[in-house]
Chains A and B, each alone.
Chain A
């Protein structure tokens, strides 16, 4: 049923949007492609896993915890590592974050081993039905929380002082500095927020499928495509890109070969880059 497929695609897309949100923020604000982002999502998943195993905390309730922990992780990562290469250009920051990613992944490996983990709640099998369309409760929660996070980020960047400082710094770092913005700190906060979003995303990711420390690469791949599709640096871009990808993948898997799902993403990526590099909603 086409509506079921669309709904599935949109729900998947909403999670994808959150996957890309933090990634797009960092890329748009400081022109850094943060390879660690994918692994930060995985870190969030492990936090949810730990809390679920030890105190049986619902993964969705782990979100504030994961967000909190990862905020500081991202903040200090930025201040004491990434800030040194922000000015240096494409490859440098990409390779630095790649190196950092390897370190983090291997630390996770040591701590949690490479076994497949997941978080299965008691209501994991139950569904919500409306008009013949089946929506698992877990996915409904994901959808609602994703919207919440997206709206929250939008409001934060437009209505708060720090949020506006972030946007100003994104537009013109030096001009912002002259106006009194503490740029290194703002960058730290930006990365912190990005990490917090990743952490929240990770908690939700943990409920969807099994994961290992190596999932970061796969998630970053999705984030890339979404940012290119939707355009960098805007919340709307992440939403549009995320949902577009979610729907495209779900449709592609249903209509064509499920194996070709991945390849769609990349072909779309290269095509969009060639013909419309700014993305659907992009401004840069």
Chain B
């Protein structure tokens, strides 16, 4: 199964080692940033299953983060269930949601699927606002504080996030190398031909979305535990989904490393800009998006592979104009 070169495997283990030691070397602010980067990397990797591999633009994927967050919060607050069970339940419930909704919605193509997922996100958010008895509506849910010290808690969250990221990354890798990955890629390339070649497209699409939902749900649950306060506006926030999309495009959709790279780069830039230029943060973010789309439509992985020069990027741009 593992065909990568020795160098790649060694590099992978070194990076994992580095990441494991990280909290003990650097704490505080940068630890929080690193956790945030890993969070987005996971969300982007999860999005990659359905949008990168299968080519279905699930713009509303953040809905699973919301479901994961609320499941965890409700279980912890109303049923006294331990946090880690809450998080797993969040992931599983999100998957179920994806399977149930996926059957009708994954029949839609292109723009229509994208809009449907947006609609699902909005509708779910509205339900959360309205069904107050369960979810506290617009007031949000406050989760119990941990009994651990602050630094121990931050370390714990970091490691759990790391674990989730690792699981998602490895799942991504396995999928990319086995028949599921090929099926999804074929679906993205030409869905009708894929069907005619014997691929049960509905099954694979639902599987991709369920995987995507599972990891996004886990992240949502951990987010709730981490921040101890959630409300519909911040866990069903469409900006998270859009950010993930841009990260995926930036890094390269359909690859395994791309989403991680894109997330890391964009989140770092985001942190630095937010730190220095709070007022124009979103403006710069918007401008970055525009530039990425225009010049790097296939993402950074493509850039590394083909080593474009500036003039090549410009002529590429002209070629793509109508």
Binding site for B on A (CB under 8 A): 27, 31, 33, 81, 83-92, 94-96, 98-103, 105-107, 110, 173, 183-184, 187, 217, 221, 224, 228, 257, 259-260, 262-263, 266-267, 269-270, 273-274, 277
Contacts and interface: CB of A to CB of B under 8 A. Distances in A.
A90 B57 contact: yes
Contact of B59 (A94, A103, A257): A94
A81 to B, nearest CB: 7
Contacts of B288: 99
A106 B282 contact: yes
Interface string B188-224: 0000000000000000000000000000000000000
Given A224-B115, A263-B130, A266-B119, 11 more contacts: A31-B111, A84-B321, A85-B293, A85-B320, A87-B322, A90-B114, A95-B293, A96-B290, A106-B282, A266-B122, A274-B105
B127 interface: yes
30 contacts: A81-B294, A83-B321, A84-B294, A86-B322, A90-B110, A90-B111, A90-B114, A94-B111, A95-B246, A99-B286, A101-B286, A102-B285, A102-B289, A103-B290, A106-B283, A106-B286, A107-B283, A110-B279, A110-B283, A257-B130, A263-B122, A263-B130, A266-B119, A266-B122, A267-B119, A269-B115, A270-B116, A270-B119, A274-B116, A277-B112
Interface string B23-55: 000000000000000000000000000010000
Nearest to A169: B322
B141 interface: no
Contact of A103 (B242, B286, B322): B286
B108 interface: yes
Nearest to A86: B322
B245 A91 contact: yes
Interface in B294-322: 294, 297, 317, 320-322
A173 B238 CA distance: 33
A106 B249 contact: no
Nearest to B126: A263
B211 to A, nearest CB: 19
Contacts of B127: 263
Contacts of A267: 119, 123
A88 B114 CA distance: 15
A184 B114 CA distance: 26
Contacts of A257: 130
B321 to A, nearest CB: 5
Nearest to A269: B119
B166 interface: no
Nearest to B246: A95
Nearest to B123: A266
Contacts of B245: 91, 95
A257 B130 CA distance: 10
Nearest to A33: B111
Which bracket fits the contact residues of B? 35 or more
Interface string B215-257: 0000000000000000000000010001001100100000000
Interface string B107-145: 110111011101110110011011000000000000000
Contacts of A31: 111
Contacts of A87: 320, 322
Interface in B55-114: 57, 59, 104-105, 107-108, 110-112, 114
A274 B57 contact: no
Contact of A96 (B112, B114, B294): B294
Contacts of B156: none
B111 A95 contact: no
Nearest to A106: B283
Contacts of A187: 322
A83 B127 CA distance: 39
B322 A83 contact: yes
A245 to B, nearest CB: 13
A217 B245 CA distance: 18
A184 B123 contact: no
Contacts of A259: 129-130
A95 B242 contact: yes
B149 to A, nearest CB: 39
Nearest to A104: B286
B287 interface: yes
Q: Tell which of B51, B110, B116, B285 has the most Cβ of chain A within 10 Å.
A: B116
Given A99-B287, A183-B322, A263-B127, A106 B280 contact: yes
Contacts of B129: 259
B283 A99 contact: no
B284 to A, nearest CB: 9
B9 to A, nearest CB: 33
Nearest to A103: B286
A111 to B, nearest CB: 12
Interface in B156-201: none
B57 to A, nearest CB: 5
A269 B200 CA distance: 27
B249 A91 contact: yes
B21 to A, nearest CB: 36
Nearest to A278: B112
Interface in B251-296: 279-280, 282-283, 285-290, 293-294
A266 B122 CA distance: 7
Contacts of B57: 90-91, 94
A186 to B, nearest CB: 10
Contacts of A94: 57, 59, 111, 114
Nearest to B318: A84
A98 B51 CA distance: 17
